[in-house]
Amino acid sequence: MLFRKPQLIKTYILEIAIGVLEGSLFFIPTVLVGAQGLSYAAAGLIAALGAIMFVVVIPASGRALDRIGSKNVLLVGTLLTEIGLAIFAIGFRSLPLSILSMIVAGCGFGALLGAPTRFIVTNETDESTRATAVGLLSQALIAGQILGGSLAGGIISIATSELTGYHNAYLAFAGVALLALVITATLANDGVWGTQRLAIKHRH
């Protein structure tokens, strides 16, 4: 039943991709230490910029769902994440570019994680299957995180040098973000209508 709706199938695939992208964050401090010779404390602070932007953007992302729709929120999120990871892939040797990439990618993740995909799944399912559908969404995210870690580890391990491995790994993550952007572009937009439809479901 859940996998008969194209909107749901695309959303689950997108959630896996988001999980892969989230996995890219785990390696940021290690990359900064290896590429720039920073201490782990300093590298952790730079990586934390992404988390700070994530926290700042999440409330705005939630408010935007009803105004511009889940598709548009996800489009902004995937685009910013792709730009941020691409900047990091080519500029992780530079402290200013690393900081810029964390800010941009952090804003992207703030728009991607949590509400938008859950919003779609909730709107696309009946009350009898909603809990299962949301649970599968969480499993898709976890699977993506595992894949993301494996992807980076595999690419880094086969590279001719550590820095080349980091470069290739984050180019690959930027490619996944581009794929997520393409998938998002094919989604139907829920927006305010999705909220109204959900309200109608609850009344019945």
Distances in Å between the alpha carbon of 2 and those of 47, 104, 125, 146?
A: 37, 34, 8, 23
Q: Write down the number of H helices and E strands in the chain.
A: 9, 0
For 44-79, the pLDDT digits (tens) are 999 999 889 988 898 888 888 888 889 999 999 999
For 177-193, the pLDDT digits (tens) are 999 999 999 998 765 44
- Reading the block at residue 58, the tokens are 């999440």
Residue type, 15: E
